[in-house]
Amino acid sequence: MNTCPVCGTRYARSERVCTRDGSVLEEERTVDPLLGQAIDGKYQLEARLSQGGMGTVYRAMHLTLGKPVAVKVIRPDLVTSSVVARRFLQEARAASQLDHPNIARVFDLGQTLEGTLYFAMDLVDGPNLQEVIRTSSPLEPVRTVRLLRQVTSALSFAHTRNIIHRDLKPANIMVATGADGRDEVKLLDFGIARTFELGTAQLTINRLALGTPQYISPEQATNDPVDGRSDLYALGIILYEMLAGEVPFNDPSPAAILVKQIREAPMPPSQRRPDLNIPRALEAIALRCLEKDAGKRFQTAGELDRTLELPGDQ
């Protein structure tokens, strides 16, 4: 059996993605062979925090500093050649240069003698946005705006440095509590997905490996070139989910979700959830982000950020 790490729903072993929330299913097993190991002799893996399409994140102890950190270990089946390994190190090294308060700091990366790829980052003390939506949906409009503005700030910073996230989803957005008691967003996995998007001719297999068809832009689904507007499409889906408590496109078949991303117009959140008092301004922002034609979306994260204002939001 496979199990959703977020909602706990169990599926047959042949299923790969949770039809409720788009999470990559985890194979049920009693022992994780990596737990207790010291990756590269540096990081003792103590507990598994999450699992996604590219790999598994562990809480680890930095053996030299005696400090808790997070370590992401890349799935071995994605590392198909030395070319892929070199590309991963190149992409991860570029992402590690993103010094921004809303981007989780990557401070080490490498490959073990056994060929395992990994990177180490600051441990964020808090849930991811997927968990926040699941437990607190619908989110208050002011909280929604404050969270999104931190995401758009991070995206704008990265996009101006020619780094696109490519796998933006609630599970990659951590929500910690800042010193002032407010939500503090940290984005994970910037640009890393590109490593595994290249070099494969089979879109559906590749996308299922990365595991997030609910958040893929139309141009990603058709394997066309992408730019920062693809991240804004994914952010529109995230906003839609924050407003309505569910994604605009879902289906038991991941392939069917991809078709919907390409062809189907989203139902406005206020029509899907007429029982909720969804702010029309935020709904309009979500629907503009979800335009199939990238030229009709917000053209930059900065342009989107300038529209994210609510009366009384200080």
**Which residues have a catalytic role annotated?**
167
Taking the C-alpha atoms of residue 264 and residue 52, their distance in angstroms, rounded to an integer, is 26
134-137 own/partner pairs: CB under 8 Å, 24+ apart: 134/6, 134/7, 134/21, 137/241, 137/242, 137/245
Question: What gap in Å lies between CA 54 and CA 39, rounded to an integer?
Answer: 17
- Is-contact 205 142, C-beta < 8 A? no
Nearest to 108 by CA among 100, 118, 116: 118
**DSSP label of 270:** H
- From edge to edge, which strands make up the β-sheet containing 2-3? 10-11, 2-3, 26-27
Q: What tokens does 201 get?
A: 């001719």
Q: For 53, list phi and psi in degrees, rounded to 5.
A: -65, -25
